Amino acid sequence: MKDAALQVQNGNKAAGLCARRTSLEIQPLLKEFRKRSLELSKENS
């Protein structure tokens, strides 16, 4: 936690860029997961 605070204070822009890039990569996977999860919950109820 201390390291993260230091990175924020020092303006570590690369970490933010990496986090955004990763979130964009997993977004389609999460949408598919939610879709299938809803389908299964409807079948089981």
**Number of domains the chain is built from:** 1
pLDDT in tens, 9-42: 666 777 788 889 999 999 999 999 999 999 999 9
pLDDT at 2: 64
Q: Which domain range does residue 23 map to? A: 2-44
pLDDT at 7: 65
Instruction: Report the residue count for the chain.
Output: 45
Please, are residues 23 and 31 in contact by the beta-carbon 8 Å criterion? no
Sequence-distant (6+) residues with CB within 8 A of 7 are 15
Mean pLDDT of 40-45: 90
pLDDT at 6: 66
pLDDT at 11: 66
Q: Is the pLDDT of residue 8 over 70?
A: no
Q: Give pTM, 2 decimals.
A: 0.57
